[in-house]
Amino acid sequence: MKTTLLMIVLMAPPIWAQRVPKRPANGAPSTTLHLGSLKAQRVNPSPKAAAPAAGVAVCHLDANGALSAAFVNTASIPSGATITGSITLLDDNSSINFTGESLTQTLPAGSYIALPIINSFGELWSSNGSAFEITVQIQPGRGTATQVACDALLGEVFGNADLSGNAPLLGSVTQSVASNKDLKLILSGYFTGDTPLVVLVDFYNVYLAPASAVSVVSPNEIDLDLSQIAGLDLSSTDTLFVSVAQAGFSDTVEYRYLPPAPGSFNPAPQ
């Protein structure tokens, strides 16, 4: 059974820091999907038919069990393209499709696209756990479609054999001040060799990390130089969601800013 959901595309001026409204309250209708063994699907994710999109899918499962998601494009999307996607149960590939939104003008980089959310999983939940993939697909007027996806696990944990096959996966984030006094985030987890796209989101703004601010140190570490992200004013927020996309997949970790001593680090240019 397929159900169509509406997503909201917010047009924004082409600047690095974008204004973002709070999450919409609309949720998915109650839909019965078959639930069974999930682990095999997690170990061997199905390959993507489309090339990776220039953007990041941001997924967040809050303490109340509500799943929210968004897409932030890191490059402009031309007029005439259609943005669509789906929420897919990884066990049997049952899906809930989004309503496609066709662009009548170019969507600038850093725009925020609010995706449908699930406030209550109801019959989608099983005592064995549930694994979902939220996919955003960009279909151009001509040429090849691109897409990016993120996953959400409910009541299930990764096994060691799952980690490398589901990269990028973010395990932790650590704040430090570098020798040049730039404020850095050390992202620990599992990463691929692909060039990462990094986006930071709070409840009001979106920040695109330039390539110069992102360093792949090892398959288990990516460093992010916050002092190079123009417009990032950490004094106005205490929590950011940091998302990394590689090869068409993305993952998100919550970062709580802890202010270093005044004058001990280089603030980002405003």
Chain segment 83-104, per-residue pLDDT in tens: 999 888 877 778 888 888 899 9
More confident residue, 60 or 21: 60
The answer to whether residue 217 sits within a structural domain is yes
* pLDDT value of residue 22: 30
Structural domain of 141: 4-256
* pLDDT value of residue 154: 76
Within 13 Å, how many C-alpha atoms sit on residue 202's CB side? 16
Task: Give the 3-state secondary structure of the chain.
Answer: CCCEECCEEECCCCCCEEECCCCCCCECCCCCCCCCCCHHHHHCCCCCCCEECCEEEEEEECCCCCEEEEEEECCCECCCCEEEEEEEECCCCCEEEECCEECCCCECCCCEEECCEECCCHHHCCCCCEEEEEEEEEECCCCCCEEEEEEEEECCCCCHHHHHHHCCEEEEEEEEECCCCEEEEEEEEECCCCCCEEEEECCCEEEECCHHHEEEEECCEEEEEHHHCCCCCHHHCCEEEEEEEECCEEEEEEEECCCCCCCCCECCCC
The answer to whether residue 165 sits within a structural domain is yes
The answer to whether residue 24 sits within a structural domain is yes
At 127, the pLDDT band (50, 70, 90 cuts) reads low
| Residues above pLDDT 70, as percent of the chain | 78
Residue 26 has pLDDT above 50, yes or no: no
CA 34 to chain centroid, in Å, comes to 26
More confident residue, 35 or 239: 239
Residues 223-240, mean pLDDT to the nearest whole number: 92
* pLDDT value of residue 30: 28
The answer to whether residue 119 sits within a structural domain is yes
Residues 142-168, mean pLDDT to the nearest whole number: 86
User: CA-CA distance, 187 to 171, in Å (whole number)?
Assistant: 8
More confident residue, 131 or 40: 131
Residue 121 has pLDDT above 60, yes or no: yes
Q: What is the mean pLDDT of the chain?
A: 79
* pLDDT value of residue 171: 93
Q: Tokens 């599992």 label which residue? A: 190
Q: Which residues contact 64 (CB under 8 A, 6 or more apart)?
A: none
User: How many Cβ atoms from other residues are within 10 Å of residue 160's Cβ?
Assistant: 6
The answer to whether residue 219 sits within a structural domain is yes
* pLDDT value of residue 191: 95
Q: Which two tokens stand for residue 44?
A: 């061997």
Per-residue pLDDT tens for 42-70?
333 444 458 999 999 998 877 676 778 89
Q: Give the count of domains, the chain.
A: 1
- The answer to whether 130 touches 156, Cβ cutoff 8 Å, is yes
The answer to whether residue 265 sits within a structural domain is no
Residues 198-222, mean pLDDT to the nearest whole number: 94
* pLDDT value of residue 106: 94
More confident residue, 128 or 204: 204
The answer to whether residue 187 sits within a structural domain is yes
More confident residue, 6 or 32: 6
The answer to whether residue 264 sits within a structural domain is no
At 11, the pLDDT band (50, 70, 90 cuts) reads very low
* pLDDT value of residue 168: 94
Positive or negative, the Cα torsion across 195, 158, 223, 252? positive
